[in-house]
């Protein structure tokens, strides 16, 4: 995905376009960046649905927000489980009817800072790529047609950028924006998982750091670009945001900034006024949390 020439954080919204009737969903939000995004949206007056795959942890997160005087809604959602997605969307449709903002934040990684294992590659791909894809497709009919436009923000990673890919054939396919298709993205995933099963993944030009996680984000970035192009004329914005090296459980508590810092940037990107709202872009937060051109 291309990055926007103008830093979206350099200008403030000229008017507050959202209200308590603006509905946002944040996945994987019982902790970390997801939790901080829910809190920030709630502080700004949106109606927010917090989801988590563990009900107890999700409800604990809701209680913590209530203790701060914030009201949010909760429903269990495991994005790696299609039946869980179906149950969630059915509940959401009955309860709210329409959505304005979707933040696909839920993701997993089984690597630490010094490890690169693909032992859980299937789980990583299902959670980080197919999960957001299936959830997004299930919610697309529910996006509200409004002057402010619908917004999808996929929390991604610079590990999934094309410059991390050394397989020239696959890189060429993903770079061809005119011909890129969902089938080609899924074929890439199938090829990667086959390389994992055959033990040939190290020599096939896949990303070298957190390989399975990087491939899942590579696919998510490509799908986001495809989706942005498909719905550009329908008032739906689709962008990716890399929060940078953030102190969360996924990084073992290491990082250059907090989850609250990253969420502040993510929320501002999701809430840009329509006249400044991009689509099909990839934003990355540096250590200073300023989105930069790649």
What's the Rg (C-alpha) of the chain? 18
Is there a contact between 37 and 266 (Cβ–Cβ < 8 Å)?
yes
Is there a contact between 262 and 243 (Cβ–Cβ < 8 Å)?
yes
Active-site residues, by number, are: 213
Is there a contact between 279 and 228 (Cβ–Cβ < 8 Å)?
yes
Q: Say what angle helices 55-66 and 32-43 make with each other, to 10 degrees.
A: 40
71: burial class by Cβ within 10 Å (0-12, 13-18, 19+)?
Answer: exposed
- Rounded Cα distance, 127 and 212, in Å: 11
249: burial class by Cβ within 10 Å (0-12, 13-18, 19+)?
Answer: exposed
């Amino acid at each position: 995905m291309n990055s926007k020439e103008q830093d979206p954080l350099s200008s403030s919204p000229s008017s507050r376009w959202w209200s308590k009737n603006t509905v946002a969903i944040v996945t994987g939000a019982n902790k970390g960046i997801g939790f901080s995004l829910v809190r920030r949206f709630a502080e700004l007056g949106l109606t927010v649905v917090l989801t988590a795959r563990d009900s107890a942890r999700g409800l604990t997160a809701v209680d913590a927000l209530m203790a701060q005087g914030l009201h949010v809604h909760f429903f269990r959602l495991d994005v790696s489980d299609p039946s869980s997605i179906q149950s969630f969307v059915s509940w959401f449709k009955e309860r709210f009817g329409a959505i304005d903002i979707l933040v696909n934040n839920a993701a997993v990684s089984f690597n630490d800072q010094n490890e690169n294992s693909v032992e859980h590659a299937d789980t990583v791909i299902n959670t980080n790529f197919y999960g957001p894809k299936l959830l997004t497709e299930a919610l697309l009919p529910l996006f509200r047609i409004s002057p402010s436009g619908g917004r999808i923000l996929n929390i991604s990673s610079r590990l999934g950028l094309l410059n991390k890919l050394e397989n020239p054939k696959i890189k060429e396919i993903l770079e061809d924006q005119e011909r890129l298709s969902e089938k080609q993205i899924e074929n890439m995933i199938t090829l990667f998982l086959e390389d994992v099963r055959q033990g040939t993944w190290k020599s096939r030009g896949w990303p070298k750091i957190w390989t399975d996680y990087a491939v899942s984000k590579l696919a998510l970035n490509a799908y986001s670009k495809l989706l942005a192009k498909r719905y550009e004329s329908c008032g739906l914005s689709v962008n990716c945001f890399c929060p940078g090296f953030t102190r969360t459980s996924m990084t073992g508590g290491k990082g250059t900034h907090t989850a609250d810092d990253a969420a502040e940037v993510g929320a501002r990107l999701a809430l840009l006024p329509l006249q400044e709202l991009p689509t099909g872009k990839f934003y990355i937060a540096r250590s200073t949390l300023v989105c930069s051109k790649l």
